[in-house]
Amino acid sequence: MTITTLRHSSGSSCKIHSFGATVISFATDREHLFLSNDAILDGSKAIRGGIPLVFPVFGPSTAPSTMPQHGFARVNHWDLIESTETTASYTLRLADVTAGRGEHNPWSIEEVAKNGIDVLLKYEVSLGADYLLTTLTVQNTGKTAFDMEALLHSYFAVPEKATHDNSRTFITGLDRYSIVDKVTQESGHAQPEGEPVVISGETDRVYDPFEGKTSAQVQLVTPQRNLDITAEGSNAISCVVWNPGKEKAKAMPDMHDGAHEEFVCVEPGILTDRMIRLEPGDEAFLKQTIKAIVNK
């Protein structure tokens, strides 16, 4: 288990934990990512904070399988292939993964071998003076097509414990996206044009792109700075906005007290139609650029 630190001559920095290839810090004049004080960093469970990688499923697996919630990418050790002062590249091969097992789990190693499924994940992290670029690439290196989703589960730090202060913390750029609200179970309506997204108690919404847009420009506004989040992918880009609220956060053993007031998750992903089918030899990608705008 290693933590790789990237440093830019301007003073910005980034830290990446090899477990899940999880970026756990991106700082310019201040830290921009949230990492719970009680995050488990010993490889025994997904890291609570930073940018966990979600693949091949977002959320619980729909197949009667033992696939872990949000898939296996974030709960396995990735290999650091190369790094420079400001870049790092990781890989993870399915063949090296003890993915969820079970007779119906299409991703269990036994069925993978039987079905000839194999996948090579690559993850590249690049640090600039005021930005962090992360790119996840999925290559179907096997003989069988498989269904997939991929998402960057980014936890953004919100200063002054202001996640629920809707006059100072809100998200722009998701207007006109159609909403699936996992708290109210409502779906079918869109974020009104020009209306920002705000956090109200437990917030868990999937914003699906209109017209199948394969890029998204979102801005997270917080009391001390804005973050421009640009995402692009090989398929339509959805965006999840999540905050557990006080009660749900308290029930999470790896969330420190009051953590729900310190972060908002804005999570770009390729989730369209729940699953994307990747044919043998094909490749999918998901790229996110986080740019810190020191505006206050």
Among residues 66 and 86, whose Cβ is nearest to ligand TA6?
66
Site size for ligand TA6 (CB under 6 A) = 11
Q: Restricting to residues 117-176, which ones interact with ligand TA6 according to CB under 6 A?
A: 153
Among residues 74 and 291, whose Cβ is nearest to ligand TA6?
74
User: Shortest Cβ contact with ligand TA6: which residue?
Assistant: 242
Per the annotation, does 69 bind a ligand?
A: yes
Among residues 49 and 142, whose Cβ is nearest to ligand TA6?
49
- Selecting among 17, 153, 164, 260, the annotated active-site residue is 153
The answer to whether residue 267 is catalytic is: yes
Q: Restricting to residues 56-85, which ones interact with ligand TA6 according to CB under 6 A?
A: 59, 69-70
Binding mask 184-213 for ligand TA6 (x = CB under 6 A): --------------------x---------
Q: In one letter, which amino acid is 284?
A: A
Q: In one letter, which amino acid is 278?
A: L
**Least Å from the CB of residue 21 to ligand TA6:** 16
The answer to whether residue 153 is catalytic is: yes
Does 46 bind ligand TA6 (CB under 6 A)? Our answer is: yes
Does 37 bind ligand TA6 (CB under 6 A)? Our answer is: no
Contacts of residue 44, Cβ cutoff 8 Å, sequence gap at least 6: none
Among residues 117 and 216, whose Cβ is nearest to ligand TA6?
216
Per the annotation, does 225 bind a ligand?
A: no
Q: Which residues are annotated as a binding site for substrate?
A: 48, 69, 74
**Interface positions with ligand TA6 (CB under 6 A):** 46, 59, 69-70, 153, 182, 204, 240, 242, 265, 267
Q: Which residues are catalytic?
A: 153, 267
